């Protein structure tokens, strides 16, 4: 049997800041091979991402194939001197495992591998696989997005998937994710005519135009929400003019905004809505537009029920099925099979002194094992 804490420490001690590998895939592969998994390592390197290591491992050849998806890359630790321990030391202190990646999400990966090591002590009919990437925290172009077409070329079929993202707000067992909102980013540039502030009739102030445009974007309601999602939301994240002089009307103004949208919209309809609001305000503008993921939902069903039942068996809590939070690689996996996200808590993910309770990792291992038992 594999101890989840020991394995989590081994993974955390690899400083795999996205998209660097730093030996973390080899460490994981070593344990999976020892359990009997057939492992495939692959590197993708398309721009704008950097070369990224990925791993697909499968135990068994029969269907159904139950997959665990996750990532071993982590965000930078920030100011290391602000940490109470070295961020890559994986120190256990006061009942917590502390280190970058404990919550997001090396702790969950270790818990799943440990769960598998216990589960396969008895025969089962089917397969277990892991789909592990090294670029989820980055642009996410050379990881799961590329691995799924590769699986298709190899004839690999996944029947159900758990993504081990940290889904619980404060307490293990509180929440599972059955979908995610879409995310769109806009960079709005408004051009005017520079001039003297005392003679506005000789200039065209882009700040006036951009204020009107942003007012329309912020105060026009997108929707009332849907069955599984709250109302879509737009946040203005930056407004820049770069004008250091108080008596000059600038020639250009720029703003950035982000929209988290529900399943009443898609990338095309959201962009159309944005342009309608901008056009209504008047003024010439340029819009640079990027959608990092569409809204999706896996309707409550067998997979989410298994997760809820297993979590309640261990914690006494039935997880709420939610679609809150940011994006994850589940947005790619949903194209091939039902997917539910469930992992540790996320209170300190990406924070200084990122940490998770030792007992939570152990209990998560038990939950994952029970999910496998119920699934097979």
Cα distance from N-terminal residue to C-terminal residue, the chain? 20
User: How big is the CA angle at 68 (ends 62 and 71), to the nearest 5 degrees?
Assistant: 140
Question: Can you tell me the distance from the alpha carbon of 254 to that of 233, in angstroms, rounded to the nearest whole number?
Answer: 20
Q: Is the dihedral of CA 130, 131, 134, 139 positive or negative?
A: negative
Q: What is the DSSP letter of 216?
A: H
Give the closest residue to 313 by CA, choosing from 376, 228, 372: 372
Q: What is the DSSP letter of 15?
A: -
Residue 126's Cβ-count burial label (10 Å; 0-12, 13-18, 19+) is: middle
Query: Where in the sequence numbering do the catalytic residues fall?
Result: 73, 136
- Spatial strand order of the sheet with 91-93 comes to 91-93, 96-98, 355-357
Residue 173 Cα to chain centre, angstroms: 19
**CA distances for 197 relative to 208, 245, 249, angstroms:** 13, 10, 6
Kindly give the interhelix angle for 4-12 and 24-34, rounded to the nearest 10 degrees: 150
Which residues sit opposite 184 in a β-bridge? 259, 291
């Amino acid at each position: 049997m594999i101890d989840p804490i020991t394995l989590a420490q081994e993974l955390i001690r690899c400083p795999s800041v996205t998209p660097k590998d730093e030996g973390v895939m080899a460490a994981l592969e070593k344990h999976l091979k020892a359990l009997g998994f057939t492992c495939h390592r692959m590197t993708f390197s398309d721009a704008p991402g950097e070369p990224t290591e990925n791993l697909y491992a499968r135990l068994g050849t029969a269907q159904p194939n139950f997959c665990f998806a996750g990532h071993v890359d982590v965000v930078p630790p920030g100011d290391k001197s602000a940490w109470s321990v070295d961020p890559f030391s994986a120190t256990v202190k006061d009942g917590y495992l502390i280190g970058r990646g404990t919550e997001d999400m090396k702790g969950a990966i270790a818990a799943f591998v440990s769960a598998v090591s216990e589960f396969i002590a008895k025969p089962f009919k089917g397969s277990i696989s892991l789909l592990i990437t090294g670029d989820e925290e980055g642009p996410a172009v050379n990881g799961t997005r590329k691995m799924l077409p590769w699986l298709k070329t190899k004839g690999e079929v996944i029947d159900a998937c758990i993504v081990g993202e940290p889904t619980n707000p404060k307490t293990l067992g509180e929440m599972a994710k059955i979908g995610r909102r879409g995310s769109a980013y806009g960079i709005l540039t408004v051009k005017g005519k520079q001039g003297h502030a005392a003679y506005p009739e000789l200039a065209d102030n882009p700040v006036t135009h951009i204020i009107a445009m942003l007012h329309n974007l912020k105060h026009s309601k997108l929707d009332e929400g849907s069955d599984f999602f709250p109302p879509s939301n737009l946040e203005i994240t930056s407004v820049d003019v770069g004008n250091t002089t108080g008596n000059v009307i600038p020639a250009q103004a720029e703003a950035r905004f982000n929209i988290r949208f529900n399943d009443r919209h898609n990338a095309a309809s959201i962009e159309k809505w944005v342009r309608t609001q901008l056009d209504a305000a008047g003024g010439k503008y340029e819009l640079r537009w990027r959608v990092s993921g569409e809204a999706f939902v896996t309707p409550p069903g067998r997979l989410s029920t298994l997760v809820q039942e297993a979590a309640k068996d261990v914690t006494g809590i039935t997880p709420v099925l939610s679609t809150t939070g940011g994006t994850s690689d589940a947005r790619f996996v949903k194209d091939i099979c039902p997917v539910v996200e469930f992992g540790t808590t996320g209170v300190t993910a990406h924070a200084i002194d990122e940490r998770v309770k030792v007992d939570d990792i152990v209990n998560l291992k038990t939950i994952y094992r029970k999910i496998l038992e119920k699934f097979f």
